[in-house]
Each structure stands twice: as C-alpha cells, then as structure tokens.
C-alpha cells in the first residue's frame, strides 16, 4: 500500500518570500507519478504540479517547483514570490498504477502574510 506523509500541518510565509512544503511517500512501484494539489477555501482541488518518477529533472510550473529526491522518497514543493492567492491547503498525492486512485497526504495549510 502506498503512503504519503506531510509533516507540516501549517506553514506561513510573507508575501513575496519563498516557502517549501514537505512530502514523503512510500511506494513499491518502480515507475510512478507524484502530484501537488491546491485546495483554496472555495474547496475546488487544483493541480499545481506533476512529477514523473523516471524523470531526473525536477518539474517547474512558473513560481512552483519541486525538489524530487527519489532515493529518499521525498517530494517537496517550493513556492517562490508567494502571493496572497497562494493561501490554501496543499496536498501531496501519489497514484497507484492501476487507474486513478490517488493516495493523499494529510495536507499543509499555507498562510500568506501581507
């Protein structure tokens, strides 16, 4: 069974600063994907970034990037130039390879201070 752990229940960052959210996972799969989803107060889950495990290069999407350490099974999310609209719950997730079943971490609530 896959497990995904987010050790930071809550984080805060000053507007325009950089913050890193941590995630560790455990999987027996050799090829897999990892995701970060954002859930703002409106509740709709939005994909932030996706990393394919066989790719050594860390994924980047504008101000969002990941630090993927496959051997350590670590998948952290870095948000640069934080904006007020980044305030949300962030969930790390990993799918199994038999469809679209995602295992989510417990989430990190990010607060952005103006």
Partner 1 sequence: KAGVTQTPRYLIKTRGQQVTLSCSPISGHRSVSWYQQTPGQGLQFLFEYFSETQRNKGNFPGRFSGRQFSNSRSEMNVSTLELGDSALYLCASSPPYSGANVLTFGAGSRLTVL
Instruction: By CB under 8 A, name the binding residues for partner 1.
Output: 32-33, 35, 37, 42-47, 50, 91, 95-107
Q: Shortest approach of partner 1 to residue 31 CB, angstroms?
A: 9
Q: Which of 26, 6, 36, 32 is nearest to 72 (CA)?
A: 26
- How many CA atoms does the CB half-sphere of 78 hold within 13 Å? 12
Question: Can you tell me the distance from the alpha carbon of 9 to that of 90, in angstroms, rounded to the nearest whole number?
Answer: 10
Q: Which of 8, 32, 5 is nearest to 21 (CA)?
A: 8
* CB closer to partner 1 out of 16 and 47: 47
Q: Shortest approach of partner 1 to residue 66 CB, angstroms?
A: 15
Q: Shortest approach of partner 1 to residue 15 CB, angstroms?
A: 27
Q: Shortest approach of partner 1 to residue 92 CB, angstroms?
A: 11
* CB closer to partner 1 out of 25 and 37: 37
Residue 114 neighbours by CB under 8 Å, 6+ apart: 15, 84
Structure-block tokens of residue 91: 């969930």
* CB closer to partner 1 out of 35 and 75: 35
Structure-block tokens of residue 33: 């994907």
* CB closer to partner 1 out of 100 and 114: 100
């Amino acid at each position: 069974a896959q497990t995904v752990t987010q050790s930071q229940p809550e984080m805060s960052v000053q507007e325009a600063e950089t913050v890193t959210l941590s995630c560790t996972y455990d999987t027996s799969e050799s090829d897999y994907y990892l995701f970060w989803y954002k859930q703002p107060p409106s509740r709709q889950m939005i994909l932030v970034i996706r990393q394919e495990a066989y790719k050594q290069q860390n994924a980047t999407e504008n101000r969002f990037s990941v630090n993927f350490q496959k051997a350590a099974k670590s998948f952290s999310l870095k948000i640069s130039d934080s904006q007020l609209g980044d305030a949300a719950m962030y969930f790390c997730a990993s799918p199994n390879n038999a469809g679209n079943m995602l295992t989510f971490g417990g989430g990190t609530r990010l607060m952005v201070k103006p």
